[in-house]
């Protein structure tokens, strides 16, 4: 079975917000060894993915200097260039990047960006604000997925209110063909809301990044009913295990083969390539 990892990060120590850096050094020291090995070596990452059984990986920038990191779209484009299977996304910050829609169009048409990541709690905006609408219109026209961070946000200075998935209800209604992905599926206290919204709206998907895969059915007891909407992501590199361990944990859940294949490959394929 082929696998797409819909959620990996390019991270480098010098691109982390200093407070976030100190926090990570405290809670996850192993993470720094990984970013030292892989941060400047995309070839090594591409090879690693093959050993984990991953055919394609989305590589996310994260431009949120006030809270988490300042990894730019350009940095990710450079990292993915010429690497088989690495799919670059863009990161735009609605409070600091002007002309969001024009910039997105440039990234997609001229730089082969495959999607967009937005971080409401780290970048401080509500997803249903009118100023974002030209950007969503452009993403819809370009048929690229837009990934929203939806769930707990641990870095200092974060404003978690912006992550409430209810604001995506407006976006889904106003842009019925926009491919909306809720990264982390509401991790913390919005699991039911995310599940409900992704069943209600044909254009809302849930990415299960960062959730211990063996516990998925505790968070979403009726996961099987929503098999066409759930997407696998690992959150590499801060995750504590190898990617393959998460894939194996998903394969051993009491779900149909059809749903497991949809989660690990087909749903992401539809979003990225159709």
Binding site for Zn ion (CB under 5 A): 235
Output the smallest distance, CB 117 to Zn ion, in A. Answer: 8
Nearer CB in complex with Zn ion: 6/195: 6
Are 119 and 94 within 8 A, CB to CB? Answer: no
Nearer CB in complex with Zn ion: 255/263: 263
Nearer CB in complex with Zn ion: 5/235: 235
CA pair distance 39, 11, nearest whole angstrom: 6
- Element housing 243 (H / E): helix 243-251
Output the smallest distance, CB 267 to Zn ion, in A. Answer: 18
The full DSSP string for 27-75 is H-THHHHHHHHHTT-HHHHHHHHHHTT-SEEEEE-EE-TTTSBEE-HHH
CA pair distance 271, 90, nearest whole angstrom: 15
Output the smallest distance, CB 248 to Zn ion, in A. Answer: 21
Q: Is 199 strand, coil or helix?
A: helix
Phi, psi angles (nearest 5°) of residue 66: -65, -25
Nearer CB in complex with Zn ion: 8/226: 8
Are 145 and 108 within 8 A, CB to CB? Answer: no
Residue nearest to Zn ion (CB): 235
CA pair distance 274, 220, nearest whole angstrom: 27
Phi, psi angles (nearest 5°) of residue 4: -115, 125
**Cα Rg of the chain (Å, integer):** 17
Nearer CB in complex with Zn ion: 181/255: 181
Output the smallest distance, CB 167 to Zn ion, in A. Answer: 19
Are 115 and 91 within 8 A, CB to CB? Answer: no
CA pair distance 257, 135, nearest whole angstrom: 37
Nearer CB in complex with Zn ion: 48/89: 89
Output the smallest distance, CB 225 to Zn ion, in A. Answer: 26
Output the smallest distance, CB 77 to Zn ion, in A. Answer: 18
**Paired strand residues for 117:** 91, 147
CA pair distance 169, 181, nearest whole angstrom: 12
Output the smallest distance, CB 209 to Zn ion, in A. Answer: 6
Nearer CB in complex with Zn ion: 187/201: 187
Nearer CB in complex with Zn ion: 75/235: 235
Output the smallest distance, CB 127 to Zn ion, in A. Answer: 17
CA pair distance 8, 240, nearest whole angstrom: 13
């Amino acid at each position: 079975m082929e696998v797409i990892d819909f959620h990996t990060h390019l991270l480098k120590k010098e691109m982390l917000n200093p407070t976030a850096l100190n926090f990570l050094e405290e809670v996850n020291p192993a993470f720094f060894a990984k970013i030292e090995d892989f941060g400047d070596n995309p070839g090594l990452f591409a090879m690693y993915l093959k050993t984990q059984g991953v055919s394609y990986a989305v590589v996310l920038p994260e431009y949120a200097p006030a809270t988490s990191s300042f990894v730019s779209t350009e940095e990710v484009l450079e990292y993915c260039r010429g690497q088989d299977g690495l799919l670059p996304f863009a990161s735009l910050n609605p409070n600091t990047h002007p002309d969001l829609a024009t910039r997105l169009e440039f990234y997609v048409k001229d730089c082969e960006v495959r999607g967009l990541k937005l971080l409401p709690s780290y970048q401080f905006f509500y997803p249903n604000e009118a100023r974002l609408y030209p950007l969503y219109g452009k993403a819809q026209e370009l048929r690229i997925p837009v990934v929203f961070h939806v769930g707990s946000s641990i870095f200092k200075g974060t404003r978690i209110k912006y992550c409430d998935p209810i604001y995506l209800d407006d976006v889904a209604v106003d842009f019925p063909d926009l491919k909306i992905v809720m990264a982390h599926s509401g991790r913390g206290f919005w699991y039911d809301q995310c599940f409900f919204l992704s069943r209600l709206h044909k254009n809302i998907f849930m990415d299960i990044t960062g959730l211990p895969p063996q516990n998925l059915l505790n968070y979403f007891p009726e996961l099987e009913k929503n098999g066409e909407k759930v997407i696998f992501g690992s959150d590499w590199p801060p995750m504590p295990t190898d990617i393959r361990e998460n894939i194996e944990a998903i394969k051993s859940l009491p779900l149909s083969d059809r749903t497991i294949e949809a989660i690990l490959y087909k749903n992401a394929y539809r979003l990225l390539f159709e």
